[in-house]
Each structure stands twice: as C-alpha cells, then as structure tokens.
Structure 1
Amino acid sequence: MSIPAVGDPAPRFTLPGMIVRDGVRTDGEYAIDSEIGRTVVLAFYPGDATPVCTAQLCSYQEELDEFGDLGAVVWGISPQALDSHEAFARGSSLTFPLLSDTAGSVIRDYGVNAPGIGLRRSVFVIGPDGIVRWRHVGLVGLRFPKAEVIREQIELLVG
C-alpha cells in the first residue's frame, strides 16, 4: 500500500491496545472510527524500549496535556505484543494507549512497512473528519517530528 497523502481518508482499523494509568493496565480495542470528531495522532514506532523510540514517545508524553487540551488523542503503534507494550509503558511512564499490530496489517495499510527494519518511524495527524491532515514518514527511523511541530498541526485544525 502507498502512504496516504494529506487530504486522503485515513485507513480504517481496529487494533488491540493497552494503557497503563495509576499503575493499572487496561486492555481494549482501539478503532479509528470511534474517534471521528476528535483529532488522532498516530505515532508508528519500530520497537518498545529502544533508545530512539523511548525518546520519541517520552517527548510526546510531555506534551500530552497540551494535545488533550486541543481535543487530540495520541496512540502509539508498533508490532510488539501487549505485554511488551506494558513493560515499555511502565518503564517510561507512558500514559497513552500503545496498540499492537503484530500482523503488520495497519503498518502496511499506512504504507510505513520497511523491509529489514519492520517499519518506518512515522506520525500521522488524522483530523476530526477522518482525513489525513499532516504526516511525517521517516526514511531510516532515527529522526522523529518534535511534539511542538505536531501540536502546531493540531492547532491549525482547531483554529
């Protein structure tokens, strides 16, 4: 699949995910369709507890309240299983949902699969209307968009 362009409808999906809040893990199903009316930030990352992924997701964690104040939710997506996500979330104090795409179907639907490395570190901002409004797709995966850049994109959507 090709990478959805800005202005394209976001590929629809439902994935298992988990969230750790106040020390308690809660598992659930996360469907992009259930978020119509809200801005969704999808952060695709290659692996739990790796140095660059930890830096990326921790930077988004620091901005989470500001994203929330703008009516946006953040979901991390990677190919690891939920138990791996739980250890990562606990070790890095992450309080947003981490979704498990073990089959790689959503990674493929968003065109961010990369032979040999699994997936390209990528961020998509999906508008409240379900349309891709901004995207950053990494080539090799060492760089990621800063939280403030994503926040600016969300602010443009809320006006």
Structure 2
Amino acid sequence: MSMLQVGTKAPDFTLPDQSGKPVSLGDFLGEKVVVLYFYPKDNTRGCTTEACTFRDSYESFTDAGAEVIGVSSDSVATHEQFAGAHGLPFVLLADTDKAVRKQYGATSLGGVMPGRVTFVIDREGVIRHAFSSQMNIGGHIEDALKVVKQLQ
C-alpha cells in the first residue's frame, strides 16, 4: 500500500503503549492535533536521535495543542526501556505485527523496510501533513511543528 496522502482521513487504530495500556487514535480526536511518527527501531542511532529531538520539542508541540505518538514494531517491554532510558514524555506504541504501519503505508525501500514517516492529523482526523525521509530526521520535527502551529 502506498503512503496515505494529505487530505485523507486517518484510519483509527488501537495499540498498546509502553506500559501496555491500549491507546487509540480516536482518544485524541476532537481535542488535539496528533503528530504520528513511524520509526524503524528502538535504541538505534537515528531513531534515538529522532525520539530525543521530539522529546526536546515536546513542550512546543503540547503548547500548540498537539500530542506526539511514536510507533514502531518493537515490543511493549522494549518501548518501556527506550522511553525510560531517554526520558521520553510521549506515547510509544507497539505495532508488533506492523498492521498499522501497513495501513498508513509507512514503509520504504520498495515497501519492505520500516520507514521513517511522520503524519500530522488534525482534530477531525484528517491528515494535514505527511513527511517521509530516512535521513532527514530533523525535517520530521521542524515540518510537523510548523503544520501544528498553522492548525492552532
């Protein structure tokens, strides 16, 4: 499946967070803009840099009315360790069967490898921004924050 495009309704989903609690996209709709970012793997250099950059900008996102949610295929236990080790204040979701990743088309390299993709979803559940880049980690955060501020 190709990556979901701007203007598309974001599919709802429910996945366990780093404490095992089920979290749904619908939990935030109507109240917050959601910055949903898919990343390849906990505890790797690029993904740690990305998560820590979101952490360092987290207050800017929440001040602008957004919630940041990270998704990878790692387990709840791995997410719990990763979030604790780096002081991540946002939710990490365990998409262990990669179903949500596939639903959003958040893959790269011919649809085989896990992609680094960020979506900004407005309060009505519509995708307002989609950014895909394995290497431009800072671009995910900068672009997402610009869009969130425009949606205020």
TM-score by length of 1: 0.88
Read off the aligned partner of 2:24 and give its amino acid letter.
Answer: A
Q: Is the 8 A contact 1:59 1:146 kept in 2?
A: no
Cα distance, 1:117 vs structure 2? 5.9
Q: Structure 1 residues 130 and 52 mapped into 2: Cα distance closer, same or farther (>3 Å)?
A: same
Matches for 1:1-159 after TM superposition, within 5 Å: 1-18=1-18, 26-37=19-30, 38-114=32-108, 118-138=113-133, 141-144=134-137, 145-158=139-152
Cα distance between partner residues in 2 of 1:6 and 1:91 = 34
Cα distance, 1:99 vs structure 2? 0.2
Cα distance between partner residues in 1 of 2:5 and 2:143 = 18
CA RMSD of aligned residues (A): 1.5
Q: Structure 1 residues 155 and 117 mapped into 2: Cα distance closer, same or farther (>3 Å)?
A: same
1:53-84: per-residue Cα shift (whole Å, max 9, x none)? 01111001011111111110000000000111
TM-score by length of 2: 0.92
Cα distance, 1:90 vs structure 2? 1.4
Q: What is the total number of aligned residue pairs between the two structures?
A: 149
Cα distance between partner residues in 2 of 1:9 and 1:89 = 29
Cα distance, 1:146 vs structure 2? 4.5
Aligned-pair identity (%): 34
- Structure 2 stretches of 5 or more lacking a match? none
Cα distance between partner residues in 2 of 1:95 and 1:155 = 20
Read off the aligned partner of 1:8 and give its amino acid letter.
Answer: T
